Amino acid sequence: MSIRQYVPRRRIGQQFTISEALPVYLVFAVALLLQVSYPLLEGEALRLVTLAVVYWGAAAMVLHSYYSFGPKFAVRFLLITFFYSLIIEQIGHRTGWPFGVYQYDASLAYQVFDIPLVVPFAWVMISYPIIIVARRVAPRWVFLYGGIGLMVWDFFLDPQMVNAGRWTWQIDGATVPFQPMIPLSNAFGWLLTGMGLMALLHVALPRERRKRGLSNAIPDFFLLWTVFGGVIGNVFFFGYPEIGISVGIVFTLYLIPYFLAQRLGRSDF
């Protein structure tokens, strides 16, 4: 007879029920439904849904951060990401560095110093799941793993928005593989600025969850939906199967270590 040592998984603590966290789930459900409708629309309806997807998605991520990590985390995350991205976009738009020369279309509505308000909120929407991934997978290299994540996410975002006429690029040199409408400098810009944002967030944001909070189900599903929707959209609706397949593979490889860590029950951060 042998005695086996049992090591239980670390539990975060008591979690909110769905009914208690209903606002988060409702906002997230609206964001998903809007994304589902995106490929089926055109004209003014498509423009409005494009804006709504970002605002509802950003709201869902901020609400989840509040329920999971508390008000200090949520407020810091929103303010740092919003103003950092607004400053970076101002530099990029006015100087062409580090992304390249680009121009936003008026269809993106209200602007703050020539930058559409929706753009910083897009950074908010995508940065929250990525900081969670980076902190779990590479706690000592959050800035690098997070920067790579933002760059990979943009491989899906940029061609879609350029195809819809939301912004345009000046192409003077090398382009992203399978994306002749996107300069390679944009990938470099996302990696560089993404590393800066992830470094700031990692230093400024608390790492402890609330004693009573939410699981990562919402940001996790959002990540999986981004990959699935990006592949399906590009292959069957947007006419870019090579983008859907190639970026889908890269994004999946990026996320595998995170979901393996989830499966193995490692601590969050």
**Mean pLDDT across the chain:** 92
Residue range(s) defining the domain that contains residue 118:
20-264
Task: Tell me the C-alpha distance between 121 and 137, whole Å.
Answer: 25
Give the predicted TM-score (pTM) of the model.
0.92
Answer whether residue 211 shows pLDDT above 50.
Answer: yes
Q: Does residue 3 register a pLDDT over 50?
A: no
Say if 5 falls within a structural domain: no
HEC secondary structure over the chain = CCCCCCCCCCCCCEECCCCCCHHHHHHHHHHHHHHHHHHHCCHHHHHHHHHHHHHHHHHHHHHHHHHHHCHHHHHHHHHHHHHHHHHHHHHHHHHCCCCCCEEECHHHCCEECCEECHHHHHHHHHHHHHHHHHHHHCCCCHHHHHHHHHHHHHHHHHHHHHHCCCEEECCCCCEECCEEEEEHHHHHHHHHHHHHHHHHHHHHCCCCCCCEECCCHHHHHHHHHHHHHHHHHHHHHCCCHHHHHHHHHHHHHHHHHHHHHHHHCCCCC
Token look-up 């929103």 returns 78
Q: Residue 43 has what pLDDT?
A: 95
Residue 7: inside a domain:
no
Whether 3 is in a domain gets the answer no
In a domain, 2, yes or no: no
Kindly report the CA angle at 49 between 48 and 55, in degrees rounded to 5?
95
89, 78, 67: which is closest to 20 by C-alpha? 67
- Whether 10 maps to a domain, the answer reads no
Q: Compute the distance between CA of residue 135 and CA of residue 94 in angstroms, rounded to an integer.
A: 33
Nearest one of 193, 132, 139, 184 to 158, comparing CA atoms = 184
- Percent of the chain residues past pLDDT 90, beyond the cut: 86
Residue 165 is assigned to a structural domain of this protein: yes
> What percent of the chain has pLDDT above 70?
93
Per-residue pLDDT reduced to its tens digit, 83-141:
999 999 999 999 999 999 999 999 999 999 999 999 999 999 999 999 999 999 999 99
**59 in a structural domain:** yes
In single-letter form, the type of residue at position 64 comes to: H
From first CA to last CA, the distance across the chain in angstroms is 38
Q: How far apart are CA 49 and CA 239, in angstroms?
A: 20
- Is 11 within the bounds of a domain? no
User: Total domain count for the chain?
Assistant: 1
The per-residue pLDDT for range 151-194, each reduced to its tens digit, is: 999 999 999 999 999 999 999 999 999 999 999 999 999 999 99
The two structure tokens encoding residue 167: 């912004």
Residue 6 has a pLDDT of 38
pLDDT at residue 11 greater than cutoff 60: no
User: Token digits for 156?
Assistant: 């899906």
